[in-house]
């Protein structure tokens, strides 16, 4: 009922590293520092570690489910809960991936409007980015993997410019090291987890990995690398800004790009935001690919048509969201959805799968 | 024995030609001769009143000395009246008695002398006496190299195969020939080394060649365009080269070469994007230098594609990006210019294209003049007239120069073409536009393949082993494996000798 993909459509296990990492680094990293600092002050770097650790645990859970089901989430749902209930949950997953792409796209366009082109209306950028994503997703999963891999390669040089703010660093900002209550840290961890969302796409592309179980370690490496990037970013931001100043800075990382002073470039943030597009693009592409693939598995519709439907939806919903408040509401809603999915739904699914497999065998 | 062999050959060939025969069946030999006689260069006569033999040939494609020295005297001496006896008597190999009129016609048209005996309607003796005009092997002009062999392919396919075969004197070098083109009947040869090349690749190429439905194949570039994986792409998908040394090396890597009669360019594939930026001279230089040259070329590509569009983007939208000390010279050079940057850039880019096109069409000697006129007179005059800025002139000229560093001509053209979309998007959305355009081209490249193999390899899919000879070239002793890209059944090229690095003291 749910056939596995052909061998020539698959990618090597180590690409899971890039896929997971690409999904976790998105728009959030441009301004996550303020959010966690509001909860736990400058001790919130611990929250990055704790929430990262919890994600590693959840990836372990995911691989247990996937290795046993040996297919994507749609097939696993159908196995466990039957055609209708399972299909309903799979449909929700599909919508969730779509919402993920929507949030990333809309937030990036917002950054563009605020920082680069205040006078250009958003639908132009939305349209172009959707067009580009469409041209990638129609290439299939291998092309989507390619863009996440190349996107990370292009994005990496941006880490080098973190050196510039360090010249004005005040390392005393970090002291005292532990200056937050467990409750505060928990709240910060919860907020930090939102940035790590996106690894759930694993549930959709797992069958496309050659020798899926082998890719598990690469998934861990991907998360570890994300944790490293977030820690580095937080560290540079914390030593540059003082706490009060940071609380008033929405896009701390973007602001830090202003400090960069190259011989031939005065204002680096324009280059930074342009290059950042290659980090955003994989998020939208993987999101759209997963959503359209889910729809294709559930309904008698080709993946191309499913993709077209989602692209249209993406366009109209994006231009309906006009102000900051609406984008914020959407962001919050999607993150809540993601949070409950990974922390409650996934462990439940593991248990349920275990029980039902036992019963079926018996 | 030889007779039987030729009979067997004939049988095979008959089978092949059955299709043709069905379409125009029952061609009689006298009808054929009648048709041929419409051309004035067709010669047809009876040797003498007493002789039973009729001789037919096209005098323009036959080496007349062969007829005079080795055929006519024996017809004179031979008292027998059969073609078989004549065939025995004539001291030339490769003669055949053929009873298939279509085959006789093909032979006649490819430079054979046909001898017919009186009374026989279907049989004829065919003697090969081809005389083909060809120029001698000359210097490579498109892919010139300072060191290394100075031979280049010519228009004759036999001479070209000769140039390759003398470099690879092994029986495993297989030449498979097909005839393509309903009018031109062009000989197309597929060369590969058996056991080293992936059979699937060979079959793909042969399949695609056999599927070609076209009336004329005049040059190898026709084949290149027809059998390419992605017809909508401006990127060439097979490398064309005029260097036999490059072909020999590529063949031993496990790739396939296509040679076309009448074309001094060979096609090789499957290939990757980075291979288009490797000149064969890289292998003749030491690996450090070759690697640096390759990186320079790669930089040149990016510079050529992006520099003008970045200029337009920065000056149109992001002038805050210009650092203070650069501001002065820029303002000084742009202050009097009446056009916006985009117009200025397009005018200059088009001028350069104009000069290039004029230089390519004109004979070499006048071409040099064009270079001087374009470079010095027009450039200086444009700046002095205040139509363009000095800075942009420098950028555009450098970008044009950079685009010529690409060793494969077809790729150089593509690079010059794709900077125009970049210019337009830069005008529309600044740096972001450049990014958008770049990512669109990236999506195109990611989807592309050459003979079904990924085009962006070894970068994506990442093949670390292949990186040894792509963006840079590591020394030969590290190139022990064939590239993964070609899927060769024998990956090892040679067994590296263990370098005995025993600890020798300074003065030992």
Residues of A in contact with B321 (CB under 8 A): 265-267, 270-271
Whole-number pLDDT of residue B308: 94
Question: Would the CB atoms of B321 and A267 count as touching at under 8 Å?
Answer: yes
Helix axes A122-137, A141-155, angle to 10 degrees: 120
Of B431, B436, B443, the CB nearest to A270: B431
What DSSP letter does each residue of B225-260 carry, written as one string?
A: HHH-S-TT-SS-SSEEE--HHHHHHHHHTT-EEEEE
The closest alpha carbon to A209, from A3, A16, A1, belongs to A16
Answer whether residue B2 shows pLDDT above 70.
no
**Which secondary structure element, helix H or strand E, spans residue B501, and what is its range?**
none
Average pLDDT over residues A24-44: 87
Question: What is the distance between the alpha carbons of residues B146 and B282, in angstroms, rounded to a whole number?
Answer: 11
Q: Which two tokens stand for residue B507?
A: 């003065």
pLDDT band of residue B343 (cuts 50, 70, 90) is very high
Please indicate whether, in this complex, the C-beta atoms of A264 and B447 are within 8 angstroms of each other.
no
Q: Long-range pairs for A349-358 at CB < 8 Å and ≥24 separation?
A: A349/A65, A349/A76, A349/A80, A350/A61, A350/A64, A350/A65, A352/A80, A352/A81, A353/A65, A353/A68, A353/A69, A353/A76, A353/A79, A353/A80, A356/A79, A356/A80, A357/A68
| Alpha-carbon span B178 to B26, nearest angstrom | 25
pLDDT tens, residue by residue, A65-95 = 999 888 889 999 998 888 899 999 999 999 9
Distance from CA of A132 to the nearest CA of B (A): 6
Average pLDDT, chain B: 86
Residues of B with Cβ-Cβ distance to A266 under 8 angstroms: 320-324
C-alpha to C-alpha distance for B294 and B304, rounded to whole angstroms? 15
A232 has a pLDDT exceeding 60: yes
Residues of A in contact with B440 (CB under 8 A): 132, 135
pLDDT tens digits for range B139-191: 988 888 888 899 999 999 999 999 999 999 999 999 999 999 889 889 999 99
B386-430 per-position pLDDT tens digit: 888 888 988 998 998 898 888 888 898 999 899 999 999 999 999
| Cβ-contact B128, B114 below 8 angstroms | no
- Using DSSP bridges, classify how beta strands B95-98 and B124-128 pair: parallel, antiparallel or unpaired: antiparallel
| Mean pLDDT score, A341-360 | 90
Q: Is A328 on the interface with B (CB under 8 A)?
A: no
Residue B81 predicted with pLDDT over 80: no
Give me the pLDDT at residue B3, please.
46
Look at A278 and B439 and tell me if their CB atoms are within 8 Å: yes
CB contact under 8 Å between A135 and B435, yes or no, is: no
- Alpha-carbon gap, residue B341 to B331, rounded angstroms: 12
Residue B303 has pLDDT above 60, yes or no: yes
The gap between the terminal CA atoms of chain A, to the nearest Å, is 23
Residue from B439, B453, B467, B487 whose CB has the most chain A CBs within 10 Å, to mutate? B439
Cross-chain CB nearest to A132 (options B321, B324, B443) = B443
In this complex, is the C-beta atom of B321 within 8 Å of any C-beta atom belonging to chain A? yes
Q: What is the pLDDT of residues A169-204, one digit of tens each?
A: 888 888 878 778 889 889 999 888 888 988 999 999
Q: Is A170 on the interface with B (CB under 8 A)?
A: no
Is A116 close to B435, i.e. CB distance below 8 A? no
Q: How far apart are CA A336 and CA B5, in angstroms?
A: 82
Tokens 């590509």 label which residue?
B301
Q: Do A270 and B321 touch (CB under 8 A)?
A: yes
pLDDT score at B26: 60
Instruction: Examine the pLDDT at B7 and tell me if it is beyond 90.
Output: no
Tokens of A215: 């890719």
A250, pLDDT greater than 80:
yes
Q: Which residues pair with B173 in a beta bridge?
A: B193
The strand pairing partners of B180, in sequence order, are B186
What ipTM was estimated for this complex?
0.93
Q: How many residues does chain A have?
A: 362
**CB distance from A121 to chain B under 8 Å?**
no
Q: Which residues of B touch A135 (CB under 8 A)?
A: 440, 443-444
- The beta-carbon neighbor of A266 closest among B321, B430, B460 is B321
CB contact under 8 A, B435 and A146: no
């Amino acid at each position: 009922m749910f056939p596995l993909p052909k061998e020539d459509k698959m990618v090597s296990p180590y690409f899971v590293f890039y896929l997971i990492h690409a999904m976790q680094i998105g728009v959030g990293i441009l301004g996550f520092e303020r959010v966690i600092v509001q909860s736990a002050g400058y001790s919130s770097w611990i929250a990055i570690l704790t929430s990262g650790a919890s994600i590693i645990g959840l990836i372990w859970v995911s691989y247990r489910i996937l290795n046993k089901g040996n297919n994507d989430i749609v097939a696993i749902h159908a196995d466990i809960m039957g055609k209708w209930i399972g299909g309903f949950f799979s449909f929700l997953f599909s919508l969730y991936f779509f919402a993920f792409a929507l949030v990333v796209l809309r937030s990036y366009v917002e950054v563009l409007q605020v920082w680069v082109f205040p006078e250009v209306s958003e639908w132009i950028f939305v349209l172009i980015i959707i067009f580009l994503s469409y041209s990638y997703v129609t290439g299939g999963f291998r092309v989507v993997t390619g863009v996440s891999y190349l996107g990370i390669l292009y994005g990496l040089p941006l880490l080098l410019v973190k050196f510039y703010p360090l010249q004005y660093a005040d390392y005393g900002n970090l002291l005292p090291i532990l200056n937050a209550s467990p409750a505060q840290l928990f709240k910060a961890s919860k907020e930090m987890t939102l940035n790590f969302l996106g690894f759930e796409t694993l549930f959709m592309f797992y069958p496309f990995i050659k020798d899926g179980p082998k890719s598990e370690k690469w998934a861990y490496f991907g998360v570890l690398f994300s944790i490293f990037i977030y820690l580095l970013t937080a560290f540079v931001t914390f030593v540059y800004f003082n706490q009060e100043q940071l609380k008033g800075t929405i896009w701390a990382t973007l602001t830090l790009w202003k400090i960069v002073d190259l011989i031939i470039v005065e204002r680096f943030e324009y280059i930074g935001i342009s290059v950042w597009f290659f980090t955003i693009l994989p998020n939208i592409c993987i999101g759209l690919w997963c959503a359209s693939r889910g729809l294709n598995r559930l309904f008698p519709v080709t993946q191309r048509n499913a993709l077209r439907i989602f692209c249209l939806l993406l366009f109209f919903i994006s231009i309906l969201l006009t102000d900051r408040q609406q984008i914020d509401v959407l962001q919050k809603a999607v993150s809540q959805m993601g949070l409950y999915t990974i922390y409650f739904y996934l462990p439940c699914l593991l248990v349920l799968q275990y029980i039902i497999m036992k019963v079926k065998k018996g | 024995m030889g007779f039987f062999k030729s009979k067997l050959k004939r049988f095979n060939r008959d089978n092949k030609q059955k299709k043709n025969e069905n379409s125009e069946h029952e061609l009689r030999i006298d009808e054929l001769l009648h048709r041929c006689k419409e051309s004035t260069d067709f010669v047809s006569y009876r040797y003498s009143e007493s002789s039973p033999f009729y001789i037919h040939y096209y005098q323009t494609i036959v080496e007349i000395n062969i007829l005079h020295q080795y055929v006519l005297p024996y017809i004179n001496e031979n008292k027998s009246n059969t073609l078989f006896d004549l065939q025995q008597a004539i001291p030339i190999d490769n003669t055949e008695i053929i009873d298939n009129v279509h085959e006789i016609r093909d032979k006649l048209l490819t430079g054979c002398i046909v001898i017919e005996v009186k009374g026989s309607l279907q049989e004829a003796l065919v003697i090969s006496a081809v005389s083909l005009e060809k120029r001698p092997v000359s210097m490579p002009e498109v892919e010139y190299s300072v060191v290394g062999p100075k031979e280049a392919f010519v228009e004759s396919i036999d001479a070209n195969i000769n140039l390759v075969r003398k470099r690879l004197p092994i029986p495993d070098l297989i030449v498979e020939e097909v005839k393509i083109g309903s009018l031109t009947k062009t000989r197309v040869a597929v060369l590969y080394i058996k056991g080293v090349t992936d059979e699937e690749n060979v079959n793909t190429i042969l399949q695609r060649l056999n599927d070609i439905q076209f009336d004329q194949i005049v040059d190898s570039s026709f084949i290149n365009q027809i059998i390419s994986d992605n017809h909508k792409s401006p990127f060439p998908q097979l490398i064309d080269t005029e260097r036999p040394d490059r072909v020999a090396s590529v063949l031993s890597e496990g790739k396939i070469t296509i040679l076309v009669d009448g074309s001094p360019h060979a096609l090789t594939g499957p290939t990757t994007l980075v291979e288009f930026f490797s000149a064969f001279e890289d292998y003749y230089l030491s690996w450090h230098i070759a690697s640096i040259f390759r990186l320079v070329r790669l930089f040149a590509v990016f510079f050529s594609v992006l520099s003008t569009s970045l200029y337009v983007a920065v000056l149109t939208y992001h002038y805050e990006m210009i650092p203070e000390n650069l501001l002065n010279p820029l303002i000084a050079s742009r202050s009097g210019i009446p056009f916006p940057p985009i117009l200025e850039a397009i005018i200059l880019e088009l001028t350069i294209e104009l000069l290039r096109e004029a230089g390519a069409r004109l004979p070499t000697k006048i071409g040099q003049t064009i270079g001087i006129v374009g470079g010095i007179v027009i450039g200086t005059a444009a700046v002095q007239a205040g139509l363009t800025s000095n800075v942009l002139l420098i950028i555009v000229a450098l970008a044009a120069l950079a685009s010529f560093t690409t060793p494969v001509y077809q790729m150089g053209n593509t690079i010059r073409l794709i900077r125009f979309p970049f210019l337009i998007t830069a005008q529309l959305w600044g740096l972001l536009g450049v990014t958008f355009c770049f990512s669109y081209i990236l999506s195109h490249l990611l989807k592309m393949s050459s003979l079904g193999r990924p085009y962006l390899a070894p970068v994506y899919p990442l093949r670390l082993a292949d990186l040894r000879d792509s963006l840079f070239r590591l020394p030969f002793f590290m190139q022990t494996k064939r590239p993964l890209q070609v899927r060769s059944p024998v990956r090892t090229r040679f067994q590296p000798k263990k370098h005995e690095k025993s600890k020798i003291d300074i003065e030992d």
